[in-house]
Chains A and B, each alone.
Chain A
Amino acid sequence: MRGAWITTFFLLGCARAPEEPPAPKLPDDTDPPPVEEPEAPLPDDTGFGLPEDPSPDHWLQVRHEGRWLLEGSPYSSLTGSLVLIEAVDRPPEPPDTGDTGGAPRLPDCWAVFDLVGAPPAEGEECADCDVLFEITFTLSRGDPSTCRLPDLPTDGEVRRMGFSSARSAILLDYRDSGIFLPWYPAQLEDDVLNVEWEARLGLLLEEED
């Protein structure tokens, strides 16, 4: 019986004798003719899959507001404040300082800057502005470092900002580029600029364990 197994083993081994290798495929000089495509094909090599409607689970709500007093004729000085608030999944309200018996509930980010402005040096222009100031931002309360949005003022920073009545907006000389962008909606009433800007953005948060 053992001999029969040995024989079978050898027979199986020998049955697979080297075969004739397949004929080498010759390379083509050019690509094969393209497949007929009824419409412009959409690529599928650079994208990534998407859910149908990826509604945010979390919202970042932002409010920047202030009252800026203009003085002089023509206006030659600006004083006021700018409050920055960011809150996740709740309204962007300032800290509750009422007598609630506990610690005030702080927004996720809150900062107050005191503003002092004066007309810029000769040669600085803003074509769309009724009035232009160089404004020094001084941090007086809170901490803007926990804010998420970019392009926030820093303590001691000087920004060129102007008011455009035609656009009902504060314009910012973006990063000293000489390009004035509409930054905040604003209204001038009785020498007071009322500034208020809000935004609401979806936010990815790392899920807690």
Chain B
Amino acid sequence: MRPTALVVAAIWLCLPACFRGPAAEETPLPDREAERPPLELPDVSDVDFETAFLDAFHLARSIDARAAWTGHRASLEHREPGCPDLWFGEPEELDGRPVGLHWADACITSSGVWYDGLVHWKTDLKISEIGGLRTEEATRELTADGTVREGDEVLVELDGTARDALYLLDGGASRWVYGSLVRGTVTGRHSFSDDDITPGGYRADLYLRATGGDVDTLEMRGEAYLFGPRIQQRFDSIALDVSMVGPTGLGPDDCALEPIGWIALRDEQAYWYDLVFLPGRSDDSSSEPYPNDPLSVCDGCGTLYVRGVESGKVCLDFDFLFDGSAELPELGDYILGLHDLP
């Protein structure tokens, strides 16, 4: 046989393989849905969801920049000349701008306190009077990757960013606004006592904004890991996206009994329990578009989903929210310059 004939024969043999359709057409995929084991739902007979979600709500509301600042300020009381080194401005890792102060070191004081890492902080306070009304604006920000410890005990560990801002009009009587963002880990004895709602600290990415005076509102968004099952000895993480208007700011379409949004708890098996209240923004993947009865009923109750499976209703009493008991930071807490270091 001539070589050319051999080539033609080989091509002829290969062509069917080249033009064969997808194998899937010949061998249908198995029906995975049918093969999938049934979703295992956890035993929740001993869970008091009402208390658990309220605890989660209180806990989330307690997560703001104050604990990080309290720990940071207290940690500076152990310093001595040269340990840790104090620097002017930002560290190089934060662009090195001439703003604020930072410490950066790996040292031990004569009293046995270790400083390791760095902590940068900046504060600002503006006072103005316009038309007889006094306005006070205060901000502070911590950016850190530092630990201060005494022996094996962590006095404060800050890793990430904690910042907050306070706005007071007429001393807060006419209006106050408090906003906070904690993005990172905060632990240590100087930040948390055993009586705290989060004695072990947290790793959080949580935004909070509250207003009072003329209009009461509260917004919280984000998540927090509590380093253990702090809520009912079962849940170690919370996530939420809620907003609520108090009685002083209620519009005709607002609900005073429950928030817009959802609260979620995670147990140690990593199962999520979601409590969905009024549907929120149209781009909120957890919500459904209006109208959406019964989810859109203002009744103080949310729909509980256990691992995504609807599991009844849980009703919470939010009366405590706007009873005037909100505690704001002091203006003096927003001053931490070179002259008044502890």
Binding site for B on A (CB under 8 A): 3-4, 6-7, 10-11, 13-14, 17-21, 23-24, 26, 29-34, 40-43, 46-50, 52-56, 60, 148-151, 172, 174-177, 179, 181-184, 197, 199-204
Contact of A13 among B18, B101, B106, B228 (CB under 8 A): B18
Query: A197 contacts which chain B residues (CB < 8 A)?
Result: 339
Give the distance in Å from the alpha carbon of A140 to the alpha carbon of B81 in the complex: 34
Known: A3-B3, A30-B271, A48-B93. A56 touches B87 (CB 8 A): yes
Does residue B24 face the partner (Cβ distance < 8 Å to A)?
yes
Does residue B295 face the partner (Cβ distance < 8 Å to A)?
no
Q: Is the CB of A177 within 8 A of B331?
A: yes
Q: Is the CB of A50 within 8 A of B145?
A: yes
| Interface residue total, chain B, C-beta cutoff 8 A | 71
Q: Is the CB of B6 within 8 A of A46?
A: no
B138 closest partner in A (C-beta): A177
Contact of A50 among B6, B118, B183 (CB under 8 A): B118
Give 6 A-B pairs besides A17-B18, A177-B331, A181-B337 with Cβ atoms closer than 8 angstroms. Answer: A41-B203, A54-B105, A56-B87, A148-B88, A183-B339, A202-B86
B236 closest partner in A (C-beta): A34
Give the distance in Å from the alpha carbon of A17 to the alpha carbon of B24 in the complex: 13
Interface string of B71-104 (1 = CB under 8 A from A): 0000000000000011111011100101001001
Does residue B272 face the partner (Cβ distance < 8 Å to A)?
yes
Q: Is the CB of B10 within 8 A of A7?
A: yes
| B contacts with A: majority SS | mixed
B124 to chain A, nearest CB (A): 9
Does residue B307 face the partner (Cβ distance < 8 Å to A)?
yes
Q: Is the CB of A40 within 8 A of B17?
A: no
B152 to chain A, nearest CB (A): 12
Contact of A43 among B107, B160, B268 (CB under 8 A): B160
Give the distance in Å from the alpha carbon of A46 to the alpha carbon of B3 in the complex: 67
Q: Is the CB of A204 within 8 A of B11?
A: no
Stretch of B27-35, B248-256, B311-319 lying at the A interface:
B27-35
Does residue B4 face the partner (Cβ distance < 8 Å to A)?
yes
**9 residue pairs from A and B, CB less than 8 Å apart:** A7-B11, A17-B18, A30-B270, A30-B308, A42-B157, A43-B159, A151-B337, A175-B126, A179-B331
Contact of A40 among B86, B125, B227 (CB under 8 A): B227
Does residue B243 face the partner (Cβ distance < 8 Å to A)?
no
Known: A23-B32, A26-B32, A32-B270. A60 touches B3 (CB 8 A): no
Interface string of B168-192 (1 = CB under 8 A from A): 0000000000000001110100000
Contact of B7 among A6, A42, A204 (CB under 8 A): A6
Does residue B14 face the partner (Cβ distance < 8 Å to A)?
yes
